[in-house]
């Protein structure tokens, strides 16, 4: 064992030669980088942390890990919810927080070139100064980083209008497992040259390479003031039909969220905005553009036709801000274990009902909020802070997840798989699909050093 330890120390000295003080060995300094925001538990003591400042740093770190067979976890801001960025025992952590520069904004072509550690909300701010915006908007936009958004193909509230993160990525620079640097994609809207490697890396959760630069697509900021609308429903079916009618109609919303009564009650008590708790569910959303008011009115008319009992339009977005901050509100009330399933939009009402039945069966409180326009739901289950309580809540999540699959849905809409949802993978993917993932992983990372044992 002493021989092995000495070899390891010599190897680390090699890496220090390449990285200098950007290689951190102090366990106390490393610890905060070994966690994410999920309920995953640390897997031991990482060996070292790389505070990468350049593509060359990442390349040196990966080439070293590849040579020595050291597992690597990759970290942006650590806001992930599925354990994907947790450190490994004896592993290397590559942090991209220092690679946080916006390298350029090309207004005419509506593209930005960014390093992975740029905070998503700060990129959006910089674009808005130029009349453009960055469409992806995960709820953690003020904290999370663009690189993490791309690595997990993050979603958010605006996906009903602008798609997911992958729809906003034009090109990537990626450091491969062996340290080589790959450039994918193009600066053009259309590009059919070889396989779509950009999309392969988007959402690959650190298992195929480390993103060190991204060319992202921007959109022009719509003119006028956004309108926020709300519609309360006594019955879930009515709300569900309203959602289907809205997304299939000509007045397209920028945001369309559906909350069950428990969610509204909890969010309202945490951030009072004057909402009345509905008997069934509440739709809230936003329209933008010069015709934002007219579109909001058409959407409210659809809601009224489907039986909405209380509706309103406002130019304040307090309601949506409250919705964005629903997680702390739920946590404060003991609802802590959440999931991220998705169903086809027309099955939303059936899904909400099914979740209610599951909650009754398990005798647990479960709140549900949905990015209704794209069918993505976050159900949060109450759980005491002990292992037995969490295990009981996990059983509820399992039932909810299987229900989503039975409705033609998905086990993850926007959070990814990481380690937390890995046991669910075979519920959705058959043996052939799992084998394809493995074939690609083995081809690109033959020594299995990149985020091993997660995501696929």
Report the site for a second copy in 326-345 (rule: CB under 8 A).
342-345
Which of 87, 155, 278, 280: binder of a second copy (CB under 8 A)? 155
Q: How far is the CB of 336 from a second copy (least distance, A)?
A: 22
Q: Which is nearer to a second copy, 273 or 437 (CB)?
A: 437
* 340 vs 355: CA distance, rounded Å: 13
* 359 vs 400: CA distance, rounded Å: 9
Which of 409, 420, 450, 454: binder of a second copy (CB under 8 A)? 409
> Going along 339-375, which residue ranges are E strands?
366-371
Q: Which of residues 267-306 bind a second copy (CB under 8 A)?
A: 289-291
346 lines the binding site for a second copy (CB under 8 A): yes
Q: Which is nearer to a second copy, 79 or 204 (CB)?
A: 204
Helices (H) and strands (E) in the chain, counts: 16, 18
Q: Which of residues 99-128 bind a second copy (CB under 8 A)?
A: 106-111
* 79 vs 121: CA distance, rounded Å: 14
Could you write out the DSSP letters of every residue in 107-170?
TTTTEEEE-TTSBHHHHHHHHHTTTEE-----TTTTT-BHHHHHHHT---TTHHHH--GGGGEE
Q: Which of residues 209-268 bind a second copy (CB under 8 A)?
A: 220, 222-223, 244, 247-250
Q: How far is the CB of 220 from a second copy (least distance, A)?
A: 5
SS3 366: strand
Which of 310, 428, 447, 452: binder of a second copy (CB under 8 A)? 428
Q: How far is the CB of 214 from a second copy (least distance, A)?
A: 16
Q: How far is the CB of 439 from a second copy (least distance, A)?
A: 4
Cα–Cα distance list, 372 to 22, 123, 140, 156 (Å): 44, 26, 19, 11
Q: Which is nearer to a second copy, 5 or 195 (CB)?
A: 195
x-or-dash pattern for a second copy, window 348-377, by CB under 8 A? Answer: -----------------------x-xxxx-
Q: Name 288's bridge partners.
A: none
Count the alpha carbons within 13 Å of 46 in the hemisphere toward its beta carbon.
Answer: 32
Q: Which of residues 170-199 bind a second copy (CB under 8 A)?
A: 176, 180-184, 186-197, 199
Other Cβ atoms within 10 Å of 9 Cβ, number: 10
Place of tokens 């070292």: 48
452 lines the binding site for a second copy (CB under 8 A): no
135 lines the binding site for a second copy (CB under 8 A): no
């Amino acid at each position: 064992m002493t021989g092995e330890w000495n070899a390891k120390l010599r190897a680390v000295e090699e890496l220090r030669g390449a990285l200098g003080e950007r290689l951190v060995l102090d366990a106390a300094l490393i610890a905060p980088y070994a966690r994410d925001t999920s309920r995953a538990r640390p897997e031991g003591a990482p060996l070292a942390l790389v505070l990468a400042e350049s593509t060359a740093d990442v390349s040196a770190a990966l080439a070293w890990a590849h040579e020595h067979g050291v597992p690597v976890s990759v970290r942006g801001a650590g806001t992930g919810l599925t354990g994907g960025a947790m450190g490994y025992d004896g592993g290397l952590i590559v942090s991209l927080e220092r690679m946080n520069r916006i390298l350029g904004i090309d207004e005419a072509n509506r593209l930005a070139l960014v390093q992975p550690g740029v905070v998503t909300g700060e990129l959006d701010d910089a674009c808005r100064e130029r009349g453009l915006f960055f469409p992806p908007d995960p709820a953690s936009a003020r904290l999370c980083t663009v690189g993490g958004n791309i690595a997990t193909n993050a979603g958010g509230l605006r996906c009903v209008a602008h798609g997911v993160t992958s729809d906003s990525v034009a090109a990537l620079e990626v450091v491969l497992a062996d340290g080589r640097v790959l450039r994918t994609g193009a600066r053009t809207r259309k590009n059919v040259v070889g396989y779509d490697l950009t999309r392969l890396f988007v959402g690959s959760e650190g298992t195929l390479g480390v993103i060190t630069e991204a060319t992202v697509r921007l959109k022009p900021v719509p003119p006028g003031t956004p309108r926020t609308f709300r519609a309360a429903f006594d019955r879930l079916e009515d709300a569900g039909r309203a959602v289907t009618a809205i997304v299939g109609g000509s007045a397209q919303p920028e945001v369309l969220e559906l909350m069950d009564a428990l969610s509204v009650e909890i969010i309202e008590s945490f951030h009072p905005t004057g909402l009345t708790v509905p008997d069934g569910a509440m739709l809230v959303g936003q329209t933008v553009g010069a015709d934002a008011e007219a579109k909001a009115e058409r959407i409210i008319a659809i809601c009224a036709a489907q039986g909405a009992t209380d509706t309103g339009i406002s130019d304040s977005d307090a309601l949506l801000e409250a919705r964005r901050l629903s997680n702390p509100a739920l946590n404060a009330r003991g609802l802590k274990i959440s999931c991220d399933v998705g169903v086809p939009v027309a099955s939303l009402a059936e899904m909400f009902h099914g979740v209610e039945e599951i909650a009754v069966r398990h005798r647990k409180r479960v709140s549900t909020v949905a990015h209704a326009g794209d069918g993505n739901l976050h159900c949060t289950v109450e759980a005491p802070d002990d292992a037995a309580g969490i295990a009981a809540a996990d059983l509820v999540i399992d039932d909810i997840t299987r229900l989503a699959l039975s409705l033609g849905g998905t086990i993850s809409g926007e959070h990814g798989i990481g380690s937390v949802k890995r046991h669910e993978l075979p519920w959705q993917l058959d043996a052939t699909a799992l084998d394809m993932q493995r074939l690609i992983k083995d081809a690109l990372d033959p020594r299995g050093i990149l985020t091993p044992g997660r995501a696929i």
